[in-house]
Amino acid sequence: MREIACRLETVAELRYAVTPTIALGLRVSANHPVSGIDLRCQIMIDVPSRAHSGAERARLTELYGDTTGPNAPLRPLVWTHTSANVPAFDRTCTVDLTIPLSSDFDVAVTKYFNSLDGEGIPLRLQFSGMISYRDMRDQLQIARIPLTTEAVGQLPLALVRSLRNRYYPGTAWLRMPRAAFERLIEYKRKTGLPSWEGAFDRLLDATEEANRITERVR
């Protein structure tokens, strides 16, 4: 059976990218010459392997429900799928896997990143695809990459925050249905508020005041 080994060596930003993008530097090795690899990768956030503080667990309730108990289960999260064409090599080569860093708070991984305080986000890379090689008669052959081929590593939380702050300084993106947006813009227009921040602040202040009144009545 033709096999390869993959090791995650570097985790860095993809320089000069139009949108925030992370580059995973991967070393691919084999004990035989390789003509090329169609490499596919599912990237998982290995949530259960990370220790989470009480404050982090409290912020993860939107993803996992009640996580305040010390034994509350936290499932792995699928971050993304990506691929790369690995060129021919004799024993080893390096290749980058690129991952766009989403700022959409409807995406589970974005919510997870935003809930963390400490450093270190554990990654698990699961590989599949096809290996091309030449046999003893110099004929081109292909073989599947075993589904047990994996690599692990750490994504620095500081890198995630640095990219977001550089591309979207002091802002966050919130997607909403068109009908809700139309209601919000009508509210902003009727109240004469000059900014979206003012509209959200007014609505949130009114909700908090209503909650305080309800608590006093009780």
Q: Where are the domains of the chain?
A: 5-167, 178-217
Upper half-sphere CA count for residue 192 (Cβ side, 13 Å): 0
Q: Estimate the share of the chain in helix, then strand, then coil, as percent rounded to the nearest 5.
A: 30, 35, 35
Specify the pLDDT at position 210.
85
Residue 126 has a pLDDT of: 98
- What phi and psi, each to the nearest 5 degrees, are found at residue 39? -95, 125
119 Cβ neighbours under 8 A, 6+ residues apart? 156, 157, 158
CATH number (3.40.50, 2.60.40, 2.30.29, 3.60.21) of 5-167 reads: 2.60.40
Q: Over the Cα atoms of the chain, what is R_g?
A: 23
Contact predicate 79/100, CB 8 Å: no
Instruction: State how far the Cα of 21 lies from the Cα of 65, in Å rounded to an integer.
Output: 30
Give the global pTM: 0.83
Pick from 170, 160, 172: which is nearest to 20 by CA?
160
pLDDT of amino acid 1: 62
pLDDT at 69: 64
End-to-end CA distance of the chain: 71
Strands (E), the chain: 5-13, 21-29, 36-45, 77-86, 92-100, 121-134, 140-144, 150-155
CA 32 – CA 190 distance, rounded (Å): 71
Q: What is the pLDDT along the chain (218 residues), one digit of tens a residue?
A: 678 999 999 999 999 999 999 999 999 999 999 999 999 999 999 999 999 888 998 899 989 888 766 667 789 999 999 999 999 999 999 999 999 999 888 899 999 999 999 889 999 999 999 999 998 899 999 999 999 999 999 999 999 999 999 999 988 878 889 999 999 999 999 999 989 889 989 999 989 888 888 888 76
| pLDDT score of 71 | 66
Angle, vertex CA 193, rays to CA 191 and CA 197, nearest 5: 125
Report which secondary-structure segment, H or E, holds 156: none
CA–CA distances in Å: residue 29 to residues 62, 131, 143? 40, 12, 15
Q: How far is it, in rounded angstroms, from Cα 118 to Cα 54?
A: 12
H or E stretch covering 56: helix 54-59
- Cβ atoms < 10 Å from Cβ of 214: 9
